[in-house]
């Protein structure tokens, strides 16, 4: 399986598509894929021409979480899974959540275990109608990770989070949308087109402002109102000095579409 690249990066005008590419294992994470994905995210982040990202999976799955064939079976030596989180999953989640541009997940099929967490950390989650979300962790005796225990109650409330995490039941894309776990479920054959159009729209947006919106919403998860008001003031100050803000207001006054550059100067 290592003959083929474990991720594929497709560069489009203004955004990149990153495809998890281990379809024989439903795009489950092994070390190679972690390293490749991390490098691709760093590379996109460093490229000023990249203003949005689309994350999807090859074949019939989005991602089945950790590759369990890499884990011990039976009586062999036990592995420190905390180390795996420290080395791979936690840095991945931190990176995904702090990218300076929006990230869209196109969940093309099953998203299980850490694969579900990774999808749900993306800023906007589109899922094919046939996609499923599974908190598979309890079925093998581990804890929802990659931020799953933090995300789930915030997105769908504690009762549903407990049910999903403890029972490991399969959630359809339709129910995921109805519960507010994801943005939208779309027809399977429209998924990539809709996700691509959304990324193109985001990539033409005021990138710095969009990044500041991400920061504000993330901070709102933990801030009280007082701190959040202060943060909004600080971020608004930063937004107000961007050329895209000047362009946005000018375009509005001139009754034309804005031409945002996403640049600081």
**134 is a contact residue toward ligand T3D (CB under 6 A):** yes
Q: Please, which residue, 87 or 237, has the CB nearer to ligand T3D?
A: 87
**20 is a contact residue toward ligand T3D (CB under 6 A):** no
Query: Cβ distance 36 to 8 under 8 Å?
Result: no
Q: How far is the CB of 207 from ligand T3D (least distance, A)?
A: 32
Cα(23)–Cα(37) distance, rounded to whole angstroms?
15
- Check residue 89 and report its DSSP letter: I
Q: What are phi and psi of 194, to 5 degrees?
A: -65, -40
Part of the chain binding ligand T3D (CB under 6 A), chosen from 43-51, 59-67, 198-206, 228-236:
59-67
Part of the chain binding ligand T3D (CB under 6 A), chosen from 43-51, 67-75, 212-220, 230-238:
67-75
Q: Which residue has the tokens 């290592």?
A: 2
Helix (H) or strand (E) segment spanning residue 96: helix 90-98
Residue 256, judged by CB atoms within 10 A of its CB (0-12, 13-18, 19+), counts as exposed
Q: How far is the CB of 141 from ligand T3D (least distance, A)?
A: 10
**21 is a contact residue toward ligand T3D (CB under 6 A):** no
Q: Comparing C-alpha atoms, which of 66, 129, 133, 126 is closest to residue 102? A: 126
Q: Please, which residue, 22 or 51, has the CB nearer to ligand T3D?
A: 22
Part of the chain binding ligand T3D (CB under 6 A), chosen from 20-28, 159-167, 231-239, 255-263:
20-28
Total residues at interface with ligand T3D (CB under 6 A): 22
Q: How far is the CB of 97 from ligand T3D (least distance, A)?
A: 17
Q: What are phi and psi of 242, to 5 degrees?
A: -80, 150
**152 is a contact residue toward ligand T3D (CB under 6 A):** no
Q: Please, which residue, 28 or 52, has the CB nearer to ligand T3D?
A: 28
Cα(136)–Cα(112) distance, rounded to whole angstroms?
6
Q: Comparing C-alpha atoms, which of 151, 4, 141 is closest to residue 78? A: 141
**84 is a contact residue toward ligand T3D (CB under 6 A):** yes
Residue selected from 1, 8, 35, 142 as contacting ligand T3D according to rule CB under 6 A: 142
Residue selected from 38, 71, 95, 184 as contacting ligand T3D according to rule CB under 6 A: 71
Distances in Å between the Cα of 53 and the Cα atoms of 42, 43, 122, 202, 223 are 12, 12, 9, 9, 27
Q: Please, which residue, 86 or 230, has the CB nearer to ligand T3D?
A: 86
**67 is a contact residue toward ligand T3D (CB under 6 A):** yes
Q: Please, which residue, 116 or 239, has the CB nearer to ligand T3D?
A: 116
**164 is a contact residue toward ligand T3D (CB under 6 A):** no
Distances in Å between the Cα of 244 and the Cα atoms of 101, 204, 222 are 14, 11, 29
Q: What are phi and psi of 218, to 5 degrees?
A: -60, -45
Interface with ligand T3D (CB under 6 A): 25-26, 28, 64-69, 71, 81, 84, 110, 112-114, 134, 136-137, 140, 142, 145
């Amino acid at each position: 399986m290592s003959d083929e690249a474990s991720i594929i990066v497709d560069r489009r005008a203004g955004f990149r598509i990153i495809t998890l590419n281990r379809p024989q294992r439903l795009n489950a994470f092994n070390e190679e894929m972690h390293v490749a994905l991390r490098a691709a995210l760093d590379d996109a982040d460093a490229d000023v021409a990249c203003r949005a990202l689309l994350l999807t999976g090859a074949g019939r799955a989005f991602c089945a979480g950790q590759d369990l064939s890499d884990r011990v079976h039976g009586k062999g030596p036990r592995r420190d899974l905390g180390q795996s989180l420290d080395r791979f999953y936690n840095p991945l989640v931190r990176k995904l959540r702090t990218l300076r541009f929006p990230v869209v997940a196109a969940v093309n099929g099953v998203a299980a275990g850490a694969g579900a967490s990774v999808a749900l950390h993306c800023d906007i989650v589109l899922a094919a109608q046939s996609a499923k979300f599974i908190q598979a962790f309890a079925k093998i005796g581990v804890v929802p990770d990659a931020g799953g225990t933090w995300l789930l109650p915030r997105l769908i409330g504690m009762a549903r989070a407990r049910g999903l995490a403890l029972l490991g039941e399969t959630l359809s894309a339709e129910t995921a949308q109805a519960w507010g776990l994801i943005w939208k479920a779309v027809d399977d054959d429209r998924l990539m087109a809709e996700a691509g159009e959304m990324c193109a729209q985001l990539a033409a947006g005021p990138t710095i402002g969009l990044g500041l919106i991400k920061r504000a919403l993330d901070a709102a998860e933990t801030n009280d109102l007082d701190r959040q008001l202060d943060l909004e003031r600080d971020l608004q100050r930063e937004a107000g000095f961007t050329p895209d803000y000047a362009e946005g207001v000018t375009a509005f006054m001139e009754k034309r579409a804005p031409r945002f550059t996403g640049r600081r100067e």
